[in-house]
Amino acid sequence: MFVIQDGYAYTVSESTGYKISFDVDGKMVVDTTSTISITNQELLSYEEMFKKMNFKASIQELRKQYIATNASSGDISYLVDKIYTAFDDEELSKKLEDDVVYKTVVKIENFLDDCVISFDKNGGTGTMADVRKEVGDKYKLPTCAFTAPSNKRFKEWKIGNTSYDVGDEITLSESITVKAIWENIPQYTLTFDANGGTGTMDSVTKYEGEKYLLPESTFTAPEGKEFSKWLIGEDEYEVGAEITVTANATVKATYVDETNEEPQG
């Protein structure tokens, strides 16, 4: 016989109830360190306990095994067998009434239908709230709200060994963990071209997307010329202009005729 207290089941030995739980295989585990007095407690049969029991332990594992075994047929017999196995003692041979077993299975299945989607930042920072859905629901993977580790950026989501992009739709059959996958941000080099002048300027390496202020030219202009602007591709930039680095680039000096000012007398 059993008693229920605070949503947990206790198996009865004389005047003491020992708390029971279930391991990952669905086997009943008796915890003799967690006891209650059963004085004036209502004693319950298997059937009554099935009706009142709040199954809190190993239910996701039961659900996983149930789906793996019966995903196509929808047959509940496997889960019924797991219930019998969970209550493994002398009365195991007593056959429960079919309607009681069926109602119990339905109750457990309804409880198990919650699939929890949790997010793993995988070295990043920040939080993303768990999402609860029912078995069979579709779910579109969201934009990553975690902050990437230093010098990395979000690449994709991973569930188990399968990679997914933001917006990909999955069909839920169990609780899952969605892990953020990061990749190194590429680095690009800006190389300075004297374009007929003389001297050198050190190249600059920046991360993709990083801002950079174009410097003063330290090249010596060709004779009769003076520095004018920087040229990147077909675009001209003044000294001090801010650019966004997106690729390797050559920053070329351009020149104009030197301005000769009339002496003042």
- For residue 263, tell me if it sits in a domain: no
- For residue 265, tell me if it sits in a domain: no
Domain end point (choices 131, 163, 184): 184
| Amino acid found at 151 | N
Distances (CA, A) of 181 to 57, 134, 145: 31, 26, 13
The answer to whether residues 88 and 168 belong to one domain is no
Of 120, 160, 166, nearest in space to 140 by CA: 166
Query: Residues 24-79: pLDDT tens digits?
Result: 444 556 777 777 777 666 666 544 555 554 343 344 444 445 444 444 444 444 44
The answer to whether residues 50 and 147 belong to one domain is no
Per the CB < 8 A criterion, the answer to whether 251 and 197 are in contact is no
- For residue 154, tell me if it sits in a domain: yes
Q: To the nearest 5 percent, what fractions of the chain are helix, strand and coil?
A: 20, 40, 40
The answer to whether residues 93 and 31 belong to one domain is yes
The answer to whether residues 128 and 106 belong to one domain is no
Helix (H) / strand (E) element for 66: namely helix 59-70
The answer to whether residues 164 and 209 belong to one domain is no
Per the CB < 8 A criterion, the answer to whether 247 and 241 are in contact is no
The answer to whether residues 158 and 225 belong to one domain is no
The answer to whether residues 44 and 58 belong to one domain is yes
- For residue 264, tell me if it sits in a domain: no
- For residue 54, tell me if it sits in a domain: yes
pLDDT of residue 31: 75
- For residue 200, tell me if it sits in a domain: yes
The answer to whether residues 138 and 72 belong to one domain is no
The answer to whether residues 104 and 7 belong to one domain is yes
The answer to whether residues 37 and 94 belong to one domain is yes
What's the angle, vertex CA 16, arms to CA 11 and CA 22, rounded to 5? 30
The answer to whether residues 79 and 41 belong to one domain is yes
Report how far residue 61's alpha carbon sits from residue 110's, in angstroms, rounded to the nearest whole number. Answer: 15
The answer to whether residues 195 and 253 belong to one domain is yes
Per the CB < 8 A criterion, the answer to whether 172 and 192 are in contact is no
Domain, as residue range, for 216: 187-257
pLDDT of residue 19: 72
Per the CB < 8 A criterion, the answer to whether 178 and 117 are in contact is yes
Domain end point (choices 112, 145, 160): 112
* CATH number of 249's domain: 2.60.40
- For residue 192, tell me if it sits in a domain: yes
Per the CB < 8 A criterion, the answer to whether 88 and 27 are in contact is yes
- For residue 74, tell me if it sits in a domain: yes
What is the count of structural domains for the chain?
Answer: 3
Per the CB < 8 A criterion, the answer to whether 34 and 19 are in contact is yes
Domain end point (choices 112, 140, 158): 112
Q: Please, which pLDDT band fits residue 7 given cuts at 50, 70 and 90?
A: low
Contacts 24+ apart (CB under 8 A), 111-117: 111/55, 111/59, 112/59, 112/60, 112/62, 112/63, 112/66, 114/175, 115/172, 115/173, 115/174, 115/175, 115/176, 116/175, 116/176, 117/172, 117/175, 117/176, 117/178
| Amino acid found at 56 | K
Query: Residues 98-146: pLDDT tens digits?
Result: 444 444 555 455 544 567 899 999 999 999 998 888 778 899 999 999 9
Query: Residues 207-262: pLDDT tens digits?
Result: 999 999 999 999 999 999 999 999 999 999 999 999 999 999 999 999 999 887 65
pTM of the model: 0.51
